[in-house]
Structure 1
Amino acid sequence: MREYVDLEKIPFKIRAMASAIKEAGGRAFIVGGAVRDMLLGLEPADWDIGTDLEPREILMVFPGASTCGIEFGRVLVGDVDVVSFRAERDYEDKRHPGKVIYGVPLEKDLERRDFTVNAMALDPFSGELFDPFGGREDIRARVLRTVGDPVTRFQEDPLRILRAIRLKVTLGLNLDPEVSMAIVNTAGLLQHVSGERIFRELKQILLSDSVCAGLTDLESYGIGPVILPEVFSARVGDVARAVSFSGKDLATRLTLLLRRPVPGGSTEGSFSVVDKIGTRFNLPAKLTQDIRWLLEHCDPEVPLNPSSSCARGIRGSRPARDNPQDGESGHFADPAYVVRRIIYHYGERQLERLIDVKWSLWRGFGKDGIPGGVLFLVSGLWRAKAEETGDFHRVALSGDDIMEILGVKSGPVVGEAISYLEEEILKDPRKNKRDELVGMLLEWWSNRR
């Protein structure tokens, strides 16, 4: 029985590209995950067009296309992959085929794909669905099966092992028993896959609604110890729960995943793990920097790590009950000041992450109430917002201004002056006015000399 899909679900751009291929004498079909997502009622994130035209012929239709991947039958037209129907043989490097054969029919092209739910094609002109391997029925049954023998498919490209878990978690599918067994038996092959490819799949698991189930699956199927031995060397139940309580932010969830108790309370062990994983997965430097900072300050019971450079000079880096205010530095125990200081140096997004990390850790490990560090930072954020009587994000005097006012040349003293003014406006943003800062600067300079 033939099945059809509503053509209105297909973007005009995709239909226009298919028409261009047809006018050039080729056949065009929507293939891959876009077909699957439409049948699941989801908005496709990516669109692929399959055609019987060979790559050089595709380039004649779309002369400005990117040729990256052309040796494997793939041409990138804007953000759309246009792929030639092909058969593949001899996967020598656990990813790329040693031999690519063009001129094969549509069904033969679909036969080389990983899972049945990804091995369907849609005619963009009639809406007819081509489904030679039962992908539509598997979607209805919420089952993930491979096209052909799962062990063979996983040996061709071991990344499919991790992709199976990602599809299970993100689409709410159940693994076919043969697929489950094959994953357990072939998980070790993931050691041959590049860190960047692994992280692309892992990232989607971490940012999914079912991240707790995903991490549990990585552990139970033996995948975790292969791709993240630093994390999965121990049980991840509490960690998975903590991650699931957090918002869908990559830095936050990686921090919770990588956070491990270290003897003596040191964070050095966690830092070394971040560095290893950052190198292995080729993570952006800013991401690893943010994670290191969050790990340093993740203790839920204190706002900041008291021994850190960030907390240096802040008497209120612990809740007020632990560090009573004194007359000389009472403002340092002010939560609003601490919050402004964090925002000034690290950004409001990082502050939000820090609160999320602390709160998620507390809940993930089954503790009741609200920890002191969270209360301190949340109250400080509320007060800082309520008391916004001046801008504290940038000092109203520049380095050039300071040199002119003090009659000095560029050097360490300018940096000292800026640091002094920064601290003063963080204590009271109302002071961040040029005239007032000039007076404060001159007084500071007089006392310093």
Structure 2
Amino acid sequence: MPVSSDLSPQQRQAITELLRRVIPPAVDELGHRFAKAGHELALVGGPVRDALLSRPGKDVDLTTDAHPDKILELVDGWADAIWTIGIEFGTVGLRKGDLQLEITTYRSESYDPKSRKPEVTYGTSLRDDLGRRDFAVNAMAARLPGPEFVDPFGGLADLRDKRLRTPGRPEDSFSDDPLRMLRAARFASQLGFTVAPEVVAAMRDMAGRIDIVSAERIRDELSKLVCGRYPRAGLALLVETGLAEYVLPELPKLRLEIDEHHRHKDVYDHSLIVLEQAIAQEEDGPDLVLRLAALLHDIGKPKTRSFEPGGRVTFHHHEVVGAKMTKSRLMALRYPKDVVADVSRLVELHLRFHGYGTGEWTDAAVRRYVRDGGHLLGRLHKLTRADCTTRNKRKAERLRRTYDDLERRIARLAEEEELAKIRPELDGNAIQRVLGIPPGPLVGKAYRFLLDLRLDRGPIGEEAATEALLSWARAQGLEPPA
């Protein structure tokens, strides 16, 4: 197998040494095991790419000319554990110590126009196997044992130029697996690479093919894109090529027409800026919930846009409409229930702060803000701050100071009352005892009355809460026990 012709002997040696350092000894040992049996084995794809980019990677993806039954035979007695969940697609998983590996038989795969699952056929050539991979930067390998660097499609040059190309014609690659179109946008986000013009053109022409891919696979790629280092680039590519119309149609709809008589912010550009400003506040790595909420917070605006006299444009209740739309879209993409609930709730709450004015909220209103934010309060703080995209520096500074004031009030109330643990002075059992009622809806109604009382007046003590509960009960037509 020839090494890339543009490599000098010194470059070839440097790459060999780099790969030797990153390939675990157990993997090279496995290479000897396969070679002794007359079979090829190579580290392939992402692990090779990441090694050349000096990015830490956890995956160990291997490819071989051995068929799955032969792979099982060769790793028997060597691997500590073996799993065959992907064996119908030619993949065997195994564990050696702390190392997890996947070995896949050389293959080609394609989709029937009406099928969501690939048809797999086995191959005999490493070069042909690399040729069916998604992009040239992922079509490099390290033949084992050795290693020997293999780069038949110029992936190393693409890494140097930060360019994304397919090994062959992009139309053929995307026909084999339409998800690769979405993966191109994901790599633009993760690696900051420019997608080659012919690849963009094929994505545009074939965007509708993404419909045959399962929602779960689309969701996983979209999440990786959103959590990438440069998500704006990936999202813009989805919109530019028309893929967004199929995977996240609410996004291109944010590009509202703006004429000289109806002036308002470009909602699409605003949403991408909010996403970037939310990311800038992250503390412990990518936060999928926060990023999705920032991206989707205004998707209710197109449905609620209204033109008023004088050229004023309004979007009344777009946060409520947007929350429902967010829930519907994330459910269609098969996101977990907690992600759907949290993102939708943030979208619903993202305008709440604007009622604060210059600090007119009472302590009761601040308590309600905290209660409504719940476990999402920290993210709500970040989303609200990110939502300020005005170019007016004085206005932006005023909004920042106002939110600083709200956070100080929240902190003060938290210290005084342990705000995060707000409970009425009487629990459900005490309510039943005081009112002489059995469990049921009335207990919940009484509990909510006491909670509102607690939020309005702060801690009032059990005796005062009992008196207030009795007065409330009489107003409801109840006769509490003497």
- What TM-score, normalized to structure 2? 0.75
CA distance 1:397–1:269, shift in 2 (3 Å): closer
State the match for 1:290 in structure 2: 342
Q: How many residues align?
A: 416
- SS at 2:156's partner residue? helix
State the match for 1:270 in structure 2: 322
Residue 390 of structure 1: how far off its partner (Å): 4.3
Residue 182 of structure 1: how far off its partner (Å): 1.9
- The partner residue of 1:303 within 328, 353, 358 is 353
Q: Which runs of 5+ in 2 are unaligned?
A: 1-8, 256-267, 280-285, 307-315, 475-482
CA distance 1:26–1:400, shift in 2 (3 Å): farther
Alignment of 1:57-206 (within 5 A): 57-60=70-73, 61=75, 62=79, 64-77=81-94, 80-88=100-108, 90-93=110-113, 96-101=117-122, 104-123=124-143, 125-206=145-226
Deviations 1:337-387, CA, capped at 9 Å, x for gaps: 545444445434x22322332332321x54543387765554232233345
Distance, in Å, in 1 between the alignment partners of 2:94 and 2:434 is 57
- The partner residue of 1:240 within 245, 267, 272 is 272
Residue 153 of structure 1: how far off its partner (Å): 0.6
* Paired residues of 2:31 and 2:144 also in contact (CA < 8 A): yes
Amino acid at match of 1:88: S
Distance, in Å, in 2 between the alignment partners of 1:71 and 1:280 is 28
Residue 85 of structure 1: how far off its partner (Å): 2.6
Alignment of 1:307-322 (within 5 A): 317-319=355-357
| Alignment pair present for 1:393 and 2:420 | yes
Distance, in Å, in 1 between the alignment partners of 2:443 and 2:419 is 19
- The partner residue of 2:382 within 335, 356, 360 is 356
CA distance 1:439–1:22, shift in 2 (3 Å): farther
* Paired residues of 1:85 and 1:105 also in contact (CA < 8 A): no
State the match for 1:37 in structure 2: 50
Residue 179 of structure 1: how far off its partner (Å): 1.9
Deviations 1:237-264, CA, capped at 9 Å, x for gaps: 2322222221243233323333132235
State the match for 2:265 in structure 1: none
Distance, in Å, in 2 between the alignment partners of 1:143 and 1:343 is 46
* Paired residues of 2:19 and 2:51 also in contact (CA < 8 A): no
Distance, in Å, in 1 between the alignment partners of 2:366 and 2:403 is 6
State the match for 1:209 in structure 2: 229
Answer with 270-279 or 199-208: which moved more. Answer: 270-279
CA distance 1:95–1:105, shift in 2 (3 Å): farther
Distance, in Å, in 2 between the alignment partners of 1:358 and 1:292 is 15
CA distance 1:175–1:421, shift in 2 (3 Å): same
* Paired residues of 2:239 and 2:245 also in contact (CA < 8 A): yes
* Paired residues of 1:114 and 1:153 also in contact (CA < 8 A): yes
* Paired residues of 1:145 and 1:176 also in contact (CA < 8 A): yes
- SS at 1:303's partner residue? helix
CA distance 1:7–1:402, shift in 2 (3 Å): farther
Distance, in Å, in 2 between the alignment partners of 1:244 and 1:52 is 45
Amino acid at match of 2:444: G
- SS at 2:133's partner residue? coil
Distance, in Å, in 2 between the alignment partners of 1:398 and 1:288 is 31
* Paired residues of 2:327 and 2:341 also in contact (CA < 8 A): no
Distance, in Å, in 1 between the alignment partners of 2:35 and 2:434 is 72
* Paired residues of 1:339 and 1:381 also in contact (CA < 8 A): no
Distance, in Å, in 2 between the alignment partners of 1:127 and 1:17 is 12
- The partner residue of 1:411 within 433, 436, 440 is 440
Distance, in Å, in 1 between the alignment partners of 2:32 and 2:471 is 78
Deviations 1:294-328, CA, capped at 9 Å, x for gaps: 222323xx516xxxxxxxxxxxx54356xx5xxxx
- The partner residue of 1:221 within 230, 241, 244 is 241
Residue 42 of structure 1: how far off its partner (Å): 0.8
* Paired residues of 2:109 and 2:176 also in contact (CA < 8 A): no
Answer with 367-376 or 281-290: which moved more. Answer: 367-376
- SS at 2:119's partner residue? strand
Residue 233 of structure 1: how far off its partner (Å): 3.0
CA distance 1:425–1:441, shift in 2 (3 Å): closer
- SS at 2:152's partner residue? coil
- What TM-score, normalized to structure 1? 0.79
- SS at 2:463's partner residue? helix
Answer with 240-249 or 370-379: which moved more. Answer: 370-379
Residue 38 of structure 1: how far off its partner (Å): 1.2
Residue 428 of structure 1: how far off its partner (Å): 7.4
Distance, in Å, in 2 between the alignment partners of 1:380 and 1:292 is 23
- SS at 1:169's partner residue? helix
Distance, in Å, in 2 between the alignment partners of 1:114 and 1:198 is 16
State the match for 2:409 in structure 1: 383
Distance, in Å, in 1 between the alignment partners of 2:105 and 2:185 is 27
